[in-house]
């Protein structure tokens, strides 16, 4: 019988940057999607405190990442990056020490080119000194962007990214290396050798259609990821109140609670880094509940380190640009991820129309997963709903969602072989 093979990530040698980090997808928070350039010491420390107070830190969230705009406009007289003294009056090392005392880690942002995306000094030509500076401050994570290299010079950046990887290794400090070159130049082919994660697409923003287009862009990439090196479909938009690309003039496009559950289910099954974007100090309870679901996070953090893949997708009717143009349409999809110990996780999503979850053209759908082709055991699986925490029973041959799944919603289950 034809069986799905999910062993690539396990068999592939671990080739990542030599820092021993990210054996499971990194978990943390980043300032960009909610706060844009409004970063400061007080913002970062208050988000860190909230990470502890909300219980997220105890669940494994650890990186608190300052994105763009922390820098002064100019390097110092020794050619070193320096923080903006108004935003960070005590410097970055103070923030790092404070986070470390809280049991957390500090992430920071720079750019492989001469300027960051917001026009601050980039690291081009200064990779060694910048790696040293970050290490001396106690930084634990570097997001390395790609503005003003591919735009101005339009060339393959892999040598530059490799130079920074070498520079980080040379410091001797384990610094998680997160490459952010938007999926250009097929980073999954070369970044696993030199980094812990690499962006696979342009920026996410809090809109369901954008989230799903990024999911589609992950097709075919599972085999490149594994412990120490991960595909990065960008940050988690659950609870983020923001705009397209964080451009102030654009309208907010926030995602709903059920879209957020689908998004978080997919990031977990795709073994994406779980880097939250919402304001942790004022997060609504529903958003915190989603990102705190320990059983869903256990799928993300499963030690086998496989990446889930789409195993079934079905559409009916005619959709143009994600809008149904016939009387009724449906669009369902099933993702499957192998877990340690022979178990599996599945996400069964009713994708509906791209833009309107309550569109009359889309209705709740029963979604089915063929169990006959997975696993090596008896073919019997105990199925548990990870969002409701309900044991749904023992299934053989096929699992069908007990109820219709609403458009833009997902059911996520764990399948334990018996
Ligand atoms: C790029 C990145 C974003 C963010 C901004 C900051 O667009 O892709 O994630 O870091 O730059 O300027």
**Per-residue three-class SS string for 23-79:** CCCCEEEECHHHHCCCCCHHHHHHHHHHHHHCCCHHHCCCEEECCCCCECCCCCCCC
The answer to whether 376 and 351 are in contact (CB under 8 A) is no
User: Which tokens is 331 given?
Assistant: 């669009």
- Residue 166: which of 119, 131, 120 has the closest Cα? 131
Residue nearest to atom 5 of ligand 1 (CA): 117
70 lines ligand 1 (CB under 6 A): no
The answer to whether 307 and 267 are in contact (CB under 8 A) is no
DSSP reduced 3-state for 359: coil
pLDDT by residue for the chain (418 residues), tens only, comes to 334 444 444 444 445 577 999 999 999 999 999 999 999 999 999 999 999 999 999 999 999 999 999 999 999 999 999 999 999 999 999 999 999 999 999 999 999 999 999 999 999 999 999 999 999 999 999 999 999 887 666 778 999 999 999 999 999 999 999 999 999 999 999 999 999 999 999 999 999 999 999 999 999 999 999 999 999 999 999 999 988 888 888 887 899 999 999 999 999 999 999 999 999 999 999 999 999 999 999 999 999 999 999 999 999 999 888 889 988 999 999 999 999 999 999 999 999 999 887 788 999 999 999 999 898 878 899 999 999 999 999 999 999 999 999 999 999 999 999 9
84 lines ligand 1 (CB under 6 A): no
Cα of 149 from ligand 1 centre, angstroms: 14
pTM of the entire predicted model: 0.95
pLDDT for 323: 86
338 lines ligand 1 (CB under 6 A): no
Q: Judging by DSSP bridges, how do beta strands 323-324 and 409-417 pair with one another?
A: unpaired
What is the rounded CA–CA span in Å between residue 230 and residue 222? 9
What is the rounded CA–CA span in Å between residue 122 and residue 335? 39
pLDDT for 149: 81
- Residue 389: which of 274, 302, 292, 272 has the closest Cα? 292
Which residues are within 8 A (CB) of 298 and not within 5 positions of it... i.e. 6 or more apart?
Answer: none
DSSP reduced 3-state for 393: strand
264 lines ligand 1 (CB under 6 A): no
Residue the block writes with tokens 């789409």: 310
The answer to whether 392 and 384 are in contact (CB under 8 A) is yes
Residue nearest to atom 9 of ligand 1 (CA): 203
203 lines ligand 1 (CB under 6 A): yes
Helix (H) or strand (E) holding 153: none
**Pocket probe mutation, ligand 1, options 117, 201, 240, max atoms within 8 Å of Cβ:** 117
Within 10 angstroms of residue 45's Cβ, the number of other Cβ atoms is 16
Cα of 201 from ligand 1 centre, angstroms: 11
User: Which tokens is 326 given?
Assistant: 């016939």
Catalytic residue list contains 203: yes
**Pocket probe mutation, ligand 1, options 35, 66, 143, 145, max atoms within 8 Å of Cβ:** 145
Cα of 295 from ligand 1 centre, angstroms: 30
What is the rounded CA–CA span in Å between residue 310 and residue 351? 13
- Return phi, psi of residue 39, to 5°: -95, 150
What is the rounded CA–CA span in Å between residue 353 and residue 361? 8
**Pocket probe mutation, ligand 1, options 33, 36, 67, max atoms within 8 Å of Cβ:** 67
pLDDT for 280: 98
pLDDT for 248: 83
Strands (DSSP E) contained in 71-145 are: 105-111, 141-145
Residue the block writes with tokens 């053989």: 396
pLDDT for 416: 97
What is the rounded CA–CA span in Å between residue 167 and residue 278? 32
DSSP reduced 3-state for 322: coil
Residue nearest to atom 12 of ligand 1 (CA): 117
Cα of 205 from ligand 1 centre, angstroms: 11
145 lines ligand 1 (CB under 6 A): yes
Task: Report the Cα–Cα distance between both ends of the chain, in Å, rounded.
Answer: 19
């Amino acid at each position: 019988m034809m069986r799905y093979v999910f062993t690539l990530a396990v068999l592939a040698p671990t080739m990542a940057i030599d820092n021993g980090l990210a054996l499971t997808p990194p978990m943390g928070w980043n300032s960009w999607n909610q706060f844009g350039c409004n970063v400061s010491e007080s913002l970062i420390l208050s988000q860190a405190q909230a990470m502890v107070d909300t219980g997220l830190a105890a669940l494994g969230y650890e990186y608190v990442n300052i994105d763009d705009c922390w820098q002064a406009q100019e390097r110092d007289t020794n050619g070193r990056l320096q923080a903006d003294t108004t935003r960070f009056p005590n410097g970055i090392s103070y923030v790092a020490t404070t986070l470390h005392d809280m049991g957390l880690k500090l992430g920071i942002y720079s750019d492989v080119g001469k300027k960051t995306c917001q026009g601050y000094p980039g690291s081009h030509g200064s990779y060694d000194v910048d790696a040293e500076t970050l290490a001396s401050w106690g930084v634990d994570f570097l997001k390395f962007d790609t503005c003003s290299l591919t735009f101005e010079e339009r060339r393959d950046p892999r040598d530059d990214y490799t130079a920074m990887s070498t520079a980080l290794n040379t410091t001797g400090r384990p610094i998680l290396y997160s490459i952010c070159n938007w999926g250009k130049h097929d980073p999954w082919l070369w970044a696993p050798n030199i980094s812990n994660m690499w962006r696979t697409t342009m920026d996410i923003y809090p809109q369901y259609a954008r989230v799903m287009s990024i999911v589609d862009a992950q097709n075919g990439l599972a085999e490149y990821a594994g412990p120490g090196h991960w595909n990065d479909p960008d940050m988690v938009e659950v609870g983020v109140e923001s705009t397209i690309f964080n451009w102030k003039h654009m309208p907010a496009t926030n995602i709903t609670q059920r879209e957020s559950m689908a998004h978080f289910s997919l990031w977990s099954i795709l073994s994406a880094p779980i880097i939250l974007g919402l304001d942790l100090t004022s997060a609504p309870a529903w958003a915190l509940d989603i990102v705190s679901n320990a059983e869903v996070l256990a799928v993300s953090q499963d030690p086998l380190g496989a990446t889930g893949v789409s195993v079934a997708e079905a559409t009916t009717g005619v959709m143009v640009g994600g809008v149904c143009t016939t009387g009724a349409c449906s669009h369902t999809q099933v993702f499957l991820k192998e877990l340690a110990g022979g178990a599996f996780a599945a996400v069964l999503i009713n994708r509906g129309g791209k833009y309107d979850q309550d569109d009359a053209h889309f209705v709740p759908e029963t979604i089915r997963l063929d169990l006959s082709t997975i696993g090596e055991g008896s073919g019997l699986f105990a199925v548990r709903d990870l969002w409701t925490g309900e044991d749904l029973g023992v299934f053989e041959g096929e699992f069908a969602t007990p109820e219709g799944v609403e458009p833009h919603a997902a059911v996520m289950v764990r399948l334990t072989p018996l």
